[in-house]
Amino acid sequence: MTTRDSLRINPPSNRLRGSMPKVGIRPAIDGRFGGVRESLEGFTMEMARATAELISANLRHSCGLPVECVIADTCIGGFAEAADCAEKFQREGVGVSLTVTPCWCYGSETMDMDPLLPKAIWGFNGTDRPGAVYLAATLAGHNQKGLPCFGIYGRDVQDLGDTNIPEDVKEKILRFVRGGLAVATMRGKAYLAMGGVSMGIAGSIVDHELFERYFGMRVESVDMTEFVGRIAKEMFDKEEYQRALAWVRENCKEGHDWNAPEKQRTRDQKDEDWETCVKMALVARDLMVGNPRLKEMGFAEQAQGHNAIAGGFQGQRQWSDHFPNGDFLEAILCSSFDWNGIRQPYIVATENDALNGASMLLGHLLTGTAQMFSDVRTFWSPDAVKRVTGHTLDGAAAGGFLHLINSGPTALDWTGHALKPWWDVTSDDAGRALDDTLWCTSDLGYFPAGGWSTDFTTLGGIPCTMFRINLVRDLGPVLQIAEGQTISLPDEVHRTLDERTSPSWPTTWFVPRTGGDGAFRDVYSVMEHWGANHGAISVGHIGADLISLAAMLRIPVDLHNVPSDNLYRPTAWHRFGGGLDPVGADYRACATYGPLYG
């Protein structure tokens, strides 16, 4: 039984360099003084304040800090006030721009023309001085000038002066801001490649242009010998190491050793593996975000870290043939808790698959939850399950399911007990996740130098989304999305299927939502259309948020099962044929506008 007292809740903090991006609210107004502007000043500014309150009350940054909104000092009736607003936004660190108005305004004179800020306009649906007219005119201006902008227009007419924000407007505002903050948060950060290409996996051929041009990030690289050197020189917080090792011994239960008896490592070797694995986790974290304790120890350069919002560890084979594998460091860092208590998960991709790491990053920025990295290993058809186990599938699993499994960073949250924004995770949630996790000695066929891998089975009935960015030559990045749910199998059926593959690794049985034609005709078709061996999985159905975010980054979506009425992209996408061919329009728009950062 895990000691809950060790799982204190850490307050939210920003562990990276740079301030958190803010949301800028631009109240636009008819600039004609002499009665028109004066009659609208109060309500226009009230719209801005109500919008700011909505955002701050409902959203947090992925690090848990509250989202701050900045409102222009005055309503914006022309370019002079637009310039004042732009200067304030730059000074305040605004990363997302949202214009609100109840009335006609002068479109090209008041619009936000910063090409790097995700932008939207809410035009109030009223009849007195309809903001919808400004909305339509200014969106047309954005499209003409090549500055994609999201439009927000309520379905029902409201009375001028009604400060209530309709539910459909709220949904679009919050979806836009979630995506915009993700864009702004990534900018200026790094992906840290710890090692190089793992076993020829293309996703670990880290593409610098992808991160620089689409995410506004840089790629930092360190050789895995950095781990050898830091461990040998004890270049880590030794007090924390002793505390972490004691916590691991108390809370990380060992499971079955599946290796042949004559090949199993001795007790002394296993204990030494634990010590090395804990040190590896400390080193990886310090490499990503730095550690001021190292400066106190005389390692000022190493104390700085690489300002990495995400990273990946190569592991196989140049590391794991000679040293304990990276499964512990990946799993514990990706979880929302460790020996320091409950804290923001890290994003660490196994095998340094940077494309899956980037995907995990998007999911975490949108939700604040721990992400799963997994092999999309096997499609189990009803006939195959019947043949192997004698069991007839029914319910959600009636059409078959996918086996998601990987030795690496399936966060412990994915036992099913802590799948919520990390700041809502309780010590009891984390304790149950630890209680349901066994740590098995590494499969020595894969990892001949030892190590530890997690073994658990995700609870069934959890809504989740599997997604991945793939990189295609002469096309660029494309995103695929499959919403669905986890399922549970009868114990004997689970055991039979699980033991046919790697029983010392964590298993998630996943059923994507299917129906219609094409890639989502059935579960097999989803497997057949999946673009790589790996997938990122996030709790909840976040496909609509991912699609909006992808449009901001100019990444087309080639595969998804999100209902069409939930698709929300900049209105320019309609001009590319979105009303007739939404997939083709997405590709054409992304190709025309190109990567967000050039």
Reduce the DSSP state of residue 536 to 3 states and report it: strand
Q: Are 169 and 98 in contact (CB under 8 A)?
A: no
Q: Are strands 341-342 and 476-487 parallel, antiparallel or unpaired?
A: unpaired
> Burial, 453: exposed, middle or buried (Cβ in 10 Å; 0-12, 13-18, 19+)?
buried
> Which DSSP category does 173 fall into?
H
CA angle, residues 307, 311, 313, in degrees to nearest 5: 135
> Burial, 263: exposed, middle or buried (Cβ in 10 Å; 0-12, 13-18, 19+)?
exposed
Distance CA 428, CA 9 (A): 11
Distance CA 333, CA 344 (A): 9
Tokens read off for 521: 């005709």
Assess whether the previous peptide bond of 588 is cis (omega < 30° from 0).
Answer: no
* Host H or E run for residue 53: helix 36-58
- Catalytic center residues: 351, 375
User: Is there a binding annotation on residue 443?
Assistant: no
φ, ψ for residue 123, nearest 5 deg: -100, 115
> Which DSSP category does 60 fall into?
B
User: Is there a binding annotation on residue 499?
Assistant: no
Tokens read off for 529: 């259309």
User: Which residues make Cβ contacts (< 8 Å) with residue 290, sequence separation at least 6?
Assistant: 303, 304, 305, 306, 307
Distance CA 526, CA 536 (A): 15
Reduce the DSSP state of residue 374 to 3 states and report it: strand
193 forms bridges with which residues in the sheet? 221, 312
User: Is there a binding annotation on residue 223?
Assistant: no
Residue ranges of the annotated binding site are: 351, 375, 534
Residue ranges of the annotated binding site for Mn(2+) are: 351, 375, 534
